[in-house]
Amino acid sequence: MISNDTFKISRERMVTQQLIPRGIYDEKVINAMKKAPRHLFVDEALYDQAYGDFPLPIGWGQTISQPYIVALMTQELELKGDEKVLEIGTGSGYQAAVLAEIVKKVYSVERISALIPRAKKILSEIGYNNVLIRVDDGTFGWEKESPFDAILVTAASPKIPEPLIKQLSDNGGRLLIPVGDKFSQNLIKIKKTDGKIKKENKGGVRFVKLIGEHGWKS
Ligand code: SAH
């Protein structure tokens, strides 16, 4: 049996070998990656692979991103700690846990209802009580709770869903989303200030499809 301490060492190694050399410098992100127990979000048979430099299957044809991508996206959100963040694509709940380590409140939407009970259970067992999860087509965002200081889409879309731009805070809100075709995408970062949109390309990524009204139709 592998003890929890073994995983603590695995997380430290993940940070020093995979994250810092590739440009993860934000202390808040580094601490969150050192703390969030990634192994608990995958199947027990995969525990010993959980801190490897690759994505892992979480069932229903979906994957949990490689640790570096989770860290990069979180860092690009430029979080200070007092933000209200929306995640689209809860999946295993791991990215939500990393966000919950840093910010006050995380809202997360997942379209596959079967994934939700496990994500909720693990998050509450670990004690992340600041994550709210809902089943829905996340391409519509979460209007009732908007505006959001930051929005993170963890699935790839052919275009940026209009409702997400609308629900972004006008006061420097940040949106990160992989945009492209089914096989490869660019990580697009949007900043919204006084109704104006600034767009940046953060490089090539590969995500599963964002399926919904303002994403892929199937
Ligand atoms: N962030 C997750 C990994 C996400 S994989 C984690 O940390 O484990 C992408 C997820 O997006 C999948 O679970 C998929 O079902 C979900 N998804 C795809 N289209 C969606 C949509 N329109 N709304 C909400 N979730 C969606």
Domains of the chain: 4-205 (3.40.50.150)
> What's the predicted TM-score (pTM) here?
0.97
CB 149 within 8 A of CB 81: no
Task: List, for residues 40-56, the tens digit of each pLDDT value.
Answer: 999 999 999 999 999 99
**65 an active-site residue?**
yes
What pLDDT score does 213 carry?
Answer: 98
Ligand 1, CB within 6 Å, residue ranges: 58, 62-65, 88-89, 91-92, 94-95, 109-112, 115, 137-139, 154-155, 208, 210-212, 215
Task: List, for residues 108-119, the tens digit of each pLDDT value.
Answer: 999 999 999 999
Q: What is the CA(179)–ligand 1 centre distance, in A?
A: 14
Residue 87 has pLDDT above 60, yes or no: yes
Residue 72 has pLDDT above 70, yes or no: yes
Catalytic residue among 10, 65, 146, 169: 65
Ligand 1, residue 98: give the atom nearest the CA: 7
Q: Helical H runs in 62-115?
A: 67-76, 94-102
CB 138 within 8 A of CB 111: yes
- Percent of the chain exceeding pLDDT 70 equals 98
What pLDDT score does 4 carry?
Answer: 60
- Percent of the chain exceeding pLDDT 90 equals 96
Question: What average pLDDT score do residues 137-160 get?
Answer: 98
Confidence of residue 1 (pLDDT cuts 50, 70, 90): very low
The span from the CA of 52 to the CA of 5, in Å, is: 16
Task: List, for residues 55-71, the tens digit of each pLDDT value.
Answer: 999 999 999 999 999 99
Q: What is the CA(66)–ligand 1 centre distance, in A?
A: 14
Residue 134 has pLDDT above 70, yes or no: yes
Q: What is the CA(111)–ligand 1 centre distance, in A?
A: 7
Q: Whose CA is nearest to atom 17 of ligand 1?
A: 89
DSSP letter string over 41-73?
GS-GGGGGGTTSSS-EEEETTEEEPPHHHHHHH
Burial class (CB in 10 A: 0-12, 13-18, 19+), 158: middle
Q: What is the CA(217)–ligand 1 centre distance, in A?
A: 14
Q: What is the CA(117)–ligand 1 centre distance, in A?
A: 14
Residues 6+ apart with CB under 8 A from 163: 139, 140, 141, 143, 214
Confidence of residue 3 (pLDDT cuts 50, 70, 90): low
Ligand 1, residue 96: give the atom nearest the CA: 7
Task: List, for residues 165-197, the tens digit of each pLDDT value.
Answer: 999 999 999 999 999 999 999 999 999 999 899
Ligand 1, residue 210: give the atom nearest the CA: 19
Confidence of residue 6 (pLDDT cuts 50, 70, 90): confident
Residue 146 has pLDDT above 50, yes or no: yes
Q: Which of 111, 143, 206, 216 to mutate to test the pocket of ligand 1 (most atoms within 8 A of CB)?
A: 111
Ligand 1, residue 119: give the atom nearest the CA: 8
The span from the CA of 206 to the CA of 179, in Å, is: 9
Q: Whose CA is nearest to atom 2 of ligand 1?
A: 91
